[in-house]
Structure 1
Amino acid sequence: MLQQYKHILVAIDGSYESELAFQKAVAVAKRNQAELFLIHTVDTRAFNNVSSFDSAMVQQVADTAKETMDGYLDQAHKAGLDKVSYSIEYGAPKTIIARDIPKQKNIDLIMIGATGLNAVERLLIGSVTEYVTRNAKCDVLVVRTDLNNQPALSSTKKPNPKPAK
């Protein structure tokens, strides 16, 4: 018996690897006739380091995230998915992706890029992907290859991390 996933979560952070995870998640959702849920998490800890907290900066981050996620939503619809939605969350990406959203949305598969944008955090406290694979209660698929199953780093043509409108 083959596993059939019904509620798939894909983490989007703007990195090339998250773009690959999105592309593969669309394909898996189509094969499984599943609902696809896209998540972008704004790490609010970054704002704690800004001495003069500027609400305009937060609004700019939110606007950019919404524009990016709208582009991914449009791509998923054009690929033939009807059941697709997204959320922009604020807080610690690790727990939001591994625990909070899967519980809220009854997620049975998380798809996530092998690496993301934050190399400093990865060095100091471990990657989001590592945390998700260790702590999620559902299956986690770590995407390391492109749609042709070629290693992501050796791919000659990288997709645009910000989908066109």
Structure 2
Amino acid sequence: MSEITFVLLKPDAIERKLVREIISYFADYNIFPKLFDLQTATAEKITAHYAEHIKKFGIEFELESRIMFEGKAVIPIVLAGSNDIIQSVRNIVGATEPSKAEHGTIRGDLGKGDNYEKADLEHRLVANLIHASDSEMAVKREIGIWLPDFHFDSCEKEARQ
């Protein structure tokens, strides 16, 4: 299972037409999409995806996440690559806060330098282009939300071969 991970291209990435460019960052490290889909984000999927954050930060976070996502295009992607792909992808994506992301990362190069302070003042979430799972448990949970027809057993079979 450690040879796959999950990312979600957020509405700001799609609106700015950065999909191909973002995928190329992963391709440079021999990480490629195994499955992806263009979807319209629903309140149910957003609430499920951000359940931990909503529990931690409250209803305001839920409302802000729904404003940012609901009814907008997103692209959930299962990425495949070598061992430790979860951490590798998170390194390629860069710091969650684009203003602190290093040059050479997706958020550092393509982000518009958004930060938490500005987002808080504007009562919105930080615009950071992409979500990347942080653990195997999160990978399974998030794929289950966005790409429920994905078969994990096929990845396990490939890994054994």
> Which has a greater percent of strand?
1
Q: Tell me the TM-score normalized by structure 1.
A: 0.28
> Which has a greater percent of helix?
2
